[in-house]
């Protein structure tokens, strides 16, 4: 092998290592900037959330931190207008491809955006899988922004002061 090839190979491997380091740091820091790490809600729980929320066709469901979009897809199948916000651009990219493949572009919209900066006043149902350290802040945001009658489903982590209408199978249902 010649020197030119070996030096380019070493340079390529260094660049590849640097990219992996950046991705590692990105995935390590992102959850603390936005709220919670990506952890998909089991499909059984997704169906239970939508059942507890009594989601109807034509209603607007918003998934805060929509991840792989499983809640949005199930909501769209029920006839809801499904909107998702996700801060991880990689998840957004793959989710948009998945939505297109399923032919649901007219029923599901996904935004690469921080959900803290979104107005939720038009939502009928909010789905949220947070983590303890952000639940109080999210509780305040939702109580301030949601319209009367809006429902909120939280998985595992409850709001600290808002009394749930129902609790079943790890899912808290709140109504404004």
pLDDT in tens, 72-130: 999 999 999 999 999 989 999 999 999 999 999 999 999 999 999 999 999 999 999 98
CB 148 within 8 A of CB 122: no
Q: Which fold has domain 43-175?
A: Rossmann fold (3.40.50)
* Predicted TM-score (pTM) above 0.85: no
Mean pLDDT taken over the chain? 89
String of b and e for 66-90 (b: at least 16 CB within 10 Å)?
bbbbbbbbbbbebebbbbbbbbbee
**Is residue 166 pLDDT above 60, yes or no?**
yes
Write down the pLDDT at residue 24.
63
pLDDT in tens, 21-69: 666 665 555 555 555 677 889 999 999 999 999 999 999 999 999 999 9
Confidence grade of residue 10 (pLDDT, cut at 50, 70, 90):
low
- The 3-state DSSP class for residue 47 equals helix
């Amino acid at each position: 092998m010649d020197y030119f090839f070996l030096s380019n190979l070493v340079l390529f491997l260094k660049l590849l290592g640097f990219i992996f380091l950046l991705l590692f740091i990105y995935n390590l820091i992102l959850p603390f900037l936005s709220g919670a790490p990506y952890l998909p809600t089991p499909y059984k729980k997704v169906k239970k959330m939508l059942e507890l929320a009594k989601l109807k066709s034509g209603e607007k469901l918003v998934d805060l931190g929509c991840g792989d979009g499983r809640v949005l897809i199930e909501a769209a199948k029920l006839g809801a207008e499904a909107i998702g916000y996700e801060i991880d651009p990689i998840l957004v990219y793959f989710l948009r491809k998945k939505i297109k493949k399923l032919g649901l572009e007219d029923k599901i919209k996904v935004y690469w955006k921080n959900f803290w900066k979104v107005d939720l006043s038009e939502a009928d149902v909010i789905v949220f899988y947070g983590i303890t350290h952000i639940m109080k802040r999210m509780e305040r945001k939702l109580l301030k922004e949601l319209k009367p009658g809006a429902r909120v489903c939280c998985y595992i982590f409850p709001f600290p002061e808002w009394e749930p209408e129902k609790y079943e199978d790890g899912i808290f249902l709140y109504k404004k």
